[in-house]
Structure 1
Amino acid sequence: MKEEITQEEEEYHISSDAVNSDEVNMVLNYSNTFAVFDRSGNIHPYGKMVQGIYHEGTRFINRLVLKFNGQKPLLLSGSIKEGNSIYSADLTNPMIKACKIQENSIHIERHQFVREGAFYEEIKILQYEPENCSFDLSLDFDGDFKDIFEIRGIKRKVDTHNAYPVDHNEYFETTYLGLDGIKRSFEIYFQSDAEYSLGGNRAVFSVNLTSKKVVTIQYCIHFLTGDEKKDAMSYAEASELNQFELNQSKTLFAEIKTSNTQFNHWLYRSEKDFISLLSQTDYGKYPYAGVPWYNTPFGRDGIIAAMEILWINPEIAKGVLLFLAANQAVDLISEKDAEPGKILHEARNGEMANTGEIPFKQYYGTIDATPLFIILAGMYYDRTGDLNLVKQIWPNIMTAVNWIDNYGDIDGDGFVEYIHKAKNGLTNQGWKDSFDSIMHENNQLADPPIALCEVQSYVYGAKLHAGKLALVLGNQDKSSRLYDEAAVLKKNFNERFWDADLSSFVLALDGQKKPCRVRSSNAGHCLFTGIADDDKAAVLADTLLASDMFSGWGVRTLSSSSGRYNPMSYHNGSIWPHDNALIGYGLSKYGLQKHVLKIMGAIFDASLFIELQRVPELYCGFEKRQGIGPTAYPVACSPQAWAVGTVFMLLQSCLRIDINAINKTITFDRIVLPDYLHEIRLTDLKLGNEKCGLIINRSKYGEVGFNILYKPDDWEIVIN
């Protein structure tokens, strides 16, 4: 049976050959649409490689190739603009023998972006030689309409329809009828200074250049589902809207500037990447998990990402809470792993989800999103004082608490466990959901139902926050009961999960209540809510920063002394930035600031070696080597919401800043700044309808000073 589960689970593992590791891929994303292409701005249909333009879980475009008289232009450079919205590539010509134009004589600029279900490109061509020159510039397009799970490596067991072109004189159209009965198509419209012809999914432009005269070609690709139609929009109009939205997005986050230019770039890149992953829902903005594999709503990811930026952008948490409340499970549906009160794991709308080939159309196979939902609600209330929202989602909070008690605790022992019910659902349902991520010290995989250590921590935090909110709403009895249950859980947890020989909480208890005696980063999440006793927290902090757990680039997911340790694995020895952020935040709750600084310094150092300082979903757990950056994990998502949110939670942990709208206080509790940050300027920090600004300085002796720029009259800044 276990072998069957393993094979089943490996279906959802992202195949390592889903990307070409020898090629550097560039990424642009906007809500439900994203593009992955090479540095030249091309998309090549090599096998099942990840390059393409995707919309709503389907790869619409798998070929987009620019050629110069049938030859590949030469790449000069390519980069994503700072605002994270446009990719620009500079190309030049190979030698053109027909008109004796030497190579590097013609400059070709490509500017590409995506927005609202469309892809736009502008190509500018400029000649620097004095002679006139004529040549053909061609663009080849094609689409395979593959579901993203096919790209990830899942082999379909059904025969799909073929895509077919629809002939038009002035534009391209290619259409595909899915097995879910949904028609998907793309249409390509052109504007050009040069004469052009269309045929066979190829556009050929007859370019006649004179010295210093620019020829411009523009086109847009619309991605359509069902009977959807889109009005054609020019490149200039779409670009102007993009710039308008970029300017508007500057007000979403409080502004943070430091004395360290590289740290500022990490902050800036992370903010822009986070914004690029936000999708507008009927309930507010929701951070999609990550590109390319998880560009869709995930419950756990959205909650943690919202927590990471809550102190500087509380509005995102509101959108996450309302969206997840609206999608909370109501019925018991085994094939979805759904139970009344359970919070969503993920939602998909691609062909394979619609046909049931994968279970993730609306899937609830997560053990931790439900208590995390309650914690986020409590944290959001503390940060904003928004009692109206608490009242609105209070029934959802109570239903979530009831799920913990009635469905989460499977065997009635006071701990929350999981066992998957959906035939093709996830076997492991914590954040480490690989099939082999929960094991015993003898390397044997744990049998369900499994009680993860961090889940008990989340449940403890959920009971405390729900108890607080019940008291705010005037329900003293319910509040007292929840606080009492939290206290009992804390006592039992520290007795059952702490292992003195490991100097750590065990990873989990298996179905026979046998402890999984391995050191893992999961134990660090037990600091996040305060469930760990103070003496155990201090010991655990040293364990997490010991050489077997800490690589120099961050805390590993699994100790290098474990038999299943593999620094190149997904969950058994790799390093996840968001994991480190939660650990750092937990350490700060216990005042263990030296440990916090070590973790933040490690992730910051790693970012300096990573292109664009775009910290990815994960990287390998190899020991830090002098002068060499962290080793990339080949199919990591980048950008990934909870990865790019890491810097904000780590900085919050460093500052030990607590913003409480109920008491109208901003408290800094014995902060310590790292050596590389001498000054932090925080402006436009939202406090209700008003704002605050202040400067934090670090002297050469390590002492910290404050300068309050402005604040609301009825708010107090407390410095301990």
Structure 2
Amino acid sequence: MDIKTFGLKEGELFVILNPFGDITPSSISPHEGLYRDDTRFLSRLELKVSGEVPRMLSSTVKSDNILFTADLSNPVIKDGKSSLQKDKIHIFRSVFLYDNTLYGKLRLINYDQKEVEFPLELFFDADFYDIFELRGARRIKRGRRLPAEVTQRGITFSYQGSDGIKRLTKIAFLTGPDHLGENRALYNIKIGPQEKVEILFTVRAAYEGDAEPIEIESAYTRLLYKKQEEEAETVKIKTSNEHFNELLHRSRADICTMLTDTPYGRYYYAGIPWYCTTFGRDGIITALQCLWIAPQNALGVLGFLAANQAKELDPENDAEPGKIPHEMRSGEMARTKEVPFRRYYGTVDATPLFIVLAGEYLKRTGDIDFISKLWENLKAAMQWMVTYGDIDGDGFIEYHRHSSKGLINQGWKDSFDAVFHADGSLAKGPVAVVEVQGYAYLAYHHMMHMAKLLGDKQTLNEALKRTRHLKKNFHRAFWSKRIGMYGIALDGEKRLCEVRTSNAGQVLLSGIVSDRYARAVARRLMERDFFSGWGIRTVAKGEALYNPMSYHNGTVWPHDNSLIGWGLQRYGLKEEVITILTGLFDASLFMELRRLPELFCGFDRRADEGPTLYPVACQPQAWASGAVFLLLQAALGLDFEHHTRSIIFKSPRLPDYIDWIEIEGLGFKEGRADLLLERYKDDVVVKVVKKEGDINVVIYK
């Protein structure tokens, strides 16, 4: 984000506030606001004391992500009636969200020795902008703002959208103002020494027919209970390093924050503010990252995506039978088809990753009943891979845009210039990006295993044939002797894009690469042109389009690094895993709230400085928050074998700044264990502190 801002999310509602707790969008911070369903329902919320902005003391979001708080004080007050030196009135401000409602509270305490009077004003407005307008999309025609309705204790802003939907912003003052206008509430404060004054208000982002908000204490109690319930279902982790614990705690809170109820279970929304909705790729990868600590959340992701799997050809939405959606939106511009993202399928990797998540979920839980219910969707996904996904029949998965408004590049690096040749020219034609071939290989492997358990010999044989074909042809097609690693993609003419990118690192998670070449890729990724000191860059220094400030061509993405780390551990490359984990942990020490952002710039690490932030990165971003959990799993060599009810550790390692780690509640539905992993000389010892049920803990050195 461009300047320091704070975000809260609950359900479909999220808010971006400045450090004062205000909403005052500007050219350097245009995204501030209260949003529901891709629409900004509140575009101004501003506090003034005697006509001035209060003085800042401090502000933060609490560690559980529920409550924003700001400690403010009065400016110098000279208005004829009374005068007051600065910092005599403490103004405590808090905001939380519940059930599509913002709950605001102001508490004033007078620390002066005399009574004082001054005006306190709250300003409001609602522009009902679509999120895509704020991202720069131009509109030919907007809906119609209706006249504001002002009552004794409330203001209602209304907007009749061009999609036929009426949107309402309902502001209610539980503490009645002395004067209320269309955009302003005025309180004439009169406060004696040590006296306290409280002002309470709500802002509801509503549609016609929505119920009124519940009162503030009940809302906060329910919110706390909901958060505690979510966290109680998650494996608990604690280490000897308090700074690392802060990263774990914030990441876990962010994961819970991004979980959003759908008719099919809870889904990891992608990120705030730009991607607060369902993304296929993001939801799947976050579920994979968190599978060992929260396997139950994969159910909602798989269920939602299965329900929205494409069933017919729809070129304008890049939809084909069996394909998993990329992005779904419910804002005005999506509903009127000004943008194609109402239900958009322009992603090449979500479909194989859908199968991968199902297979990994089965391995983690043994829940064959759920897989059986999902089987037709999984077979449809594999059928998409071998037909529409393999455009030219060569066994590789390619993408090619059909939609006039859709994405040109449809891998995870979906910027227009993300796939290019060594000379900087962009790849054209159906493009086969390298990591997707790895995803496909792993997907076919999982289909073989699931088909065997379900007795589906036809699917098993087809998946086996595809696995062998990919294994046979992958290396020859994608390996580049010139760059010493796999190129990023094959273009439409089957020319290899010989560019050094992090995509090659993600291939390792699939197991398609031999040990020899996996180690060669790992060596390249750890060299200084790739590893910035904070993490692995998306594109290595020296490549034609390398730019450490580019979204996809030189920055560092935590989720990308975590997937690479997951792949490295398959080959026993724990030193490299620890290096990546340490880089991101060190970066978090410089981040606001100890939160890893969506991405940061790829400049070389400099002594006594943190990483350079990317100006409009989402915070929180689900798969950035999930990165630390997948990297920790990789470092510990943690795996699961449900049919033997075994928790498995393969050559566990701890970084040198962690002496021990406690893991509480790890296991299966048949039983759980509390574990202590402790450094002993150059080894890590695994101790079973507590065990319930019929499970095993197995350690391979």
TM > 0.5 fold call: yes
Q: Which amino acid aligns with 1:332?
A: L
Cα distance in 2, alignment partners of residues 301 and 314 from structure 1: 16
| 1:459 and 2:432 matched | no
Q: Map 1:376-415 to 2 at 5 A.
A: 376-415=357-396
Q: Map 1:681-692 to 2 at 5 A.
A: 681-692=662-673
Cα distance in 1, alignment partners of residues 25 and 148 from structure 2: 17
Q: Which amino acid aligns with 1:174?
A: F
C-alpha displacement of 1:195: 5.1
Q: Map 1:627-642 to 2 at 5 A.
A: 627-642=608-623
| 1:221 and 2:221 matched | no
Cα distance in 1, alignment partners of residues 594 and 550 from structure 2: 22
| 1:667 and 2:652 matched | no
Cα distance in 2, alignment partners of residues 332 and 326 from structure 1: 16
Q: Map 1:168-183 to 2 at 5 A.
A: 168-183=151-166
C-alpha displacement of 1:712: 3.6
| 1:143 and 2:126 matched | yes
Cα distance in 2, alignment partners of residues 159 and 694 from structure 1: 58
- Which secondary structure does the structure 2 equivalent of 1:167 belong to? strand
| 1:46 and 2:46 matched | no
Alignment partner, residue 135 of structure 2: 152
| 1:63 and 2:44 matched | yes
Alignment partner, residue 92 of structure 2: 109
Please say which of residues 646-655 and 240-249 is displaced more in the overlay.
240-249
- Which secondary structure does the structure 1 equivalent of 2:243 belong to? helix
Post-superposition CA distance 1:84-142 (Å, at most 9, x none): 11000011011222323211100000010112211011100100112111111110000
| 1:311 and 2:292 matched | yes
C-alpha displacement of 1:673: 1.3
Cα distance in 2, alignment partners of residues 362 and 126 from structure 1: 51
Alignment partner, residue 116 of structure 2: 133
Verify the 8 A CA contact 1:327 1:343 in the aligned structure 2: yes
Q: Which amino acid aligns with 1:702?
A: D
1:717 alignment partner, one of 693, 697, 700: 697
Cα distance in 1, alignment partners of residues 253 and 381 from structure 2: 33
Verify the 8 A CA contact 1:692 1:711 in the aligned structure 2: yes
C-alpha displacement of 1:198: 1.1
Q: Which amino acid aligns with 1:221?
A: V
Alignment partner, residue 189 of structure 1: 172
C-alpha displacement of 1:161: 2.2
Verify the 8 A CA contact 2:272 2:618 in the aligned structure 1: yes
Alignment partner, residue 599 of structure 2: 618
Structure 1 pair 95–117 and aligned structure 2 pair: CA distance change class (3 A): same
Q: Map 1:17-28 to 2 at 5 A.
A: 21=2, 23-28=3-8
Cα distance in 2, alignment partners of residues 581 and 137 from structure 1: 49
Cα distance in 2, alignment partners of residues 153 and 115 from structure 1: 29
Cα distance in 2, alignment partners of residues 682 and 54 from structure 1: 37
1:471 alignment partner, one of 447, 452, 465: 452
Post-superposition CA distance 1:224-249 (Å, at most 9, x none): 12x23222322222111112222222
Verify the 8 A CA contact 2:169 2:205 in the aligned structure 1: yes
Alignment partner, residue 363 of structure 1: 344
Cα distance in 2, alignment partners of residues 675 and 220 from structure 1: 48
C-alpha displacement of 1:155: 1.4
Verify the 8 A CA contact 1:77 1:91 in the aligned structure 2: yes
- Which secondary structure does the structure 1 equivalent of 2:644 belong to? coil
Cα distance in 2, alignment partners of residues 469 and 710 from structure 1: 32
Post-superposition CA distance 1:414-438 (Å, at most 9, x none): 1111100001100000000000000
C-alpha displacement of 1:686: 4.0
Gaps of 5+ in 2: none
- Which secondary structure does the structure 1 equivalent of 2:180 belong to? strand
| 1:34 and 2:4 matched | no
Cα distance in 1, alignment partners of residues 486 and 273 from structure 2: 34
- Which secondary structure does the structure 2 equivalent of 1:489 belong to? helix
Verify the 8 A CA contact 1:195 1:207 in the aligned structure 2: no
Structure 1 pair 160–408 and aligned structure 2 pair: CA distance change class (3 A): same
- Which secondary structure does the structure 2 equivalent of 1:236 belong to? helix
Q: Which amino acid aligns with 1:110?
A: R
Please say which of residues 255-264 and 113-122 is displaced more in the overlay.
113-122
Q: Map 1:116-127 to 2 at 5 A.
A: 116-127=99-110
Q: Which amino acid aligns with 1:376?
A: L
Cα distance in 2, alignment partners of residues 45 and 672 from structure 1: 47
Structure 1 pair 228–535 and aligned structure 2 pair: CA distance change class (3 A): same
2:682 alignment partner, one of 702, 712, 717: 702
Aligned-residue CA RMSD (Å): 1.2
Alignment partner, residue 504 of structure 1: 485
Post-superposition CA distance 1:581-635 (Å, at most 9, x none): 0000000011111111111111111111111111000000000000111100001
Q: Which amino acid aligns with 1:319?
A: G
Cα distance in 2, alignment partners of residues 401 and 477 from structure 1: 12
- Which secondary structure does the structure 2 equivalent of 1:286 belong to? strand
Cα distance in 2, alignment partners of residues 220 and 686 from structure 1: 43
| 1:208 and 2:190 matched | yes
Alignment partner, residue 523 of structure 1: 504
Alignment partner, residue 583 of structure 2: 602
- Which secondary structure does the structure 1 equivalent of 2:341 belong to? coil
Gaps of 5+ in 1: 1-18
Cα distance in 2, alignment partners of residues 159 and 298 from structure 1: 26
Verify the 8 A CA contact 1:120 1:220 in the aligned structure 2: yes
Cα distance in 1, alignment partners of residues 220 and 483 from structure 2: 56
Verify the 8 A CA contact 2:650 2:699 in the aligned structure 1: yes
Cα distance in 2, alignment partners of residues 661 and 313 from structure 1: 15
Alignment partner, residue 491 of structure 1: 472
C-alpha displacement of 1:487: 1.8
Cα distance in 2, alignment partners of residues 617 and 326 from structure 1: 28
Alignment partner, residue 6 of structure 1: none
Post-superposition CA distance 1:619-670 (Å, at most 9, x none): 0000000011110000100100000000000000000010222221111111
C-alpha displacement of 1:502: 1.4
* Structure 1 segments of 4+ aligned residues over 6 angstroms from their partners: none
Verify the 8 A CA contact 2:25 2:44 in the aligned structure 1: yes
Cα distance in 2, alignment partners of residues 148 and 546 from structure 1: 39
Verify the 8 A CA contact 1:220 1:234 in the aligned structure 2: no
C-alpha displacement of 1:406: 0.9
Cα distance in 1, alignment partners of residues 278 and 146 from structure 2: 28
Post-superposition CA distance 1:539-558 (Å, at most 9, x none): 00001111111111100000
C-alpha displacement of 1:565: 0.1
Cα distance in 2, alignment partners of residues 256 and 387 from structure 1: 28
Cα distance in 1, alignment partners of residues 231 and 285 from structure 2: 22
C-alpha displacement of 1:442: 0.7
Q: Which amino acid aligns with 1:503?
A: G
C-alpha displacement of 1:32: 1.2
Verify the 8 A CA contact 1:122 1:235 in the aligned structure 2: no
Cα distance in 1, alignment partners of residues 156 and 586 from structure 2: 47
Cα distance in 1, alignment partners of residues 65 and 150 from structure 2: 35
Alignment partner, residue 99 of structure 1: 82
Post-superposition CA distance 1:310-339 (Å, at most 9, x none): 011101111100110000000100011000
Alignment partner, residue 5 of structure 1: none
Q: Which amino acid aligns with 2:194?
A: K
Q: Which amino acid aligns with 2:209?
A: E
Cα distance in 2, alignment partners of residues 543 and 45 from structure 1: 44
Q: Which amino acid aligns with 1:218?
A: L
Q: Which amino acid aligns with 2:517?
A: K
Q: Which amino acid aligns with 1:619?
A: F
Please say which of residues 40-49 and 122-131 is displaced more in the overlay.
40-49
Post-superposition CA distance 1:246-284 (Å, at most 9, x none): 222221210000001000000000000110111011111
Q: Which amino acid aligns with 1:37?
A: L
2:634 alignment partner, one of 640, 646, 653: 653
Cα distance in 2, alignment partners of residues 643 and 158 from structure 1: 36
Verify the 8 A CA contact 2:600 2:613 in the aligned structure 1: yes
